[in-house]
Amino acid sequence: MPRLLVLVLALCLIGGAAFAGLLALQSCGARLPLLPGWLAASCPDPAARAAAARLEELRRDQDLLRAEIRVAEQALSRLRCEAVHETPEPPPPARAEPPAPAIDAEAWRARDVGMLDGCWSLDSDYRVQDMETGAVTDYTEWNMCFDGAGQGRATMRATSGSTCEGPIGGRFDGGGRLVLEESGNLGCSDQTAIFRRIITCSLLPDGAADCSSHQPEAGRTVPVRLRRSPGAP
């Protein structure tokens, strides 16, 4: 009986020593079926260790980037931007036309038609309506050129590009007014014509003439202003 007790005690001592050694030297990945789960510890997987190390590295990079952003925001807040506006180049100066010479008042009062020698402009918003179609044509240029005997030619240009041209003569009436009379209808390049006109003018103090243009056939009268053309002698 004592011998059996000694044997049991020896077995217990050996088992305890083995159990203590197992606790001190846990093997990685070894699982013993007779041990409880909390004793069957295993070492971390190498891929998990690498992922954890990479995650830690990314966290450090993130902290560095946040620090750089804060520095950049502080530098940006100290900036003071000023808008720079380019000064546009001024347009070239408009080409000034030479002033129109004044009408020779002395020759006018002497009723000398020789004063008409040269070219003249008539200022008027002149509009013509076609009696057949009703179409309206605007004329922006109306000029006359005379010789020393008061014989000349009238020319008109419309916004459509058509031109009208025909003879005209000048004379003074008994009241000292200048009368410019077309010999017939003014033929135009668009196959139309402007009814004959008689233009009667009175001298103004500013060196121009105030006129009325009358069309006997149409029974129409419009105001116009007669002046020397710019650059005329």
Which of the four pLDDT bands, split at 50, 70 and 90, describes residue 173?
A: very high
Q: What is the pLDDT of residues 31-68, one digit of tens each?
A: 444 445 544 445 667 888 888 888 888 888 888 878 88
Q: Which residue has the higher pLDDT, 31 or 129?
A: 129
26, pLDDT greater than 50: no
Q: Where are the domains of the chain?
A: 105-228
179-206 per-position pLDDT tens digit: 999 999 999 998 989 999 999 999 998 8
How much is the pTM?
Answer: 0.57
Contact 137, 160 (CB under 8 A): yes
Best CA proximity match to 177, nearest among 197, 201, 198, 206: 201
Q: How confident is the model over 99-112, as pLDDT tens digits?
A: 668 899 999 999 99
Query: Which residue(s) pair with 146 in the sheet?
Result: 117, 152
Report domain 105-228's class: mainly beta
Q: What amino acid is encoded at 65 in this protein?
A: L
More confident residue, 92 or 197: 197
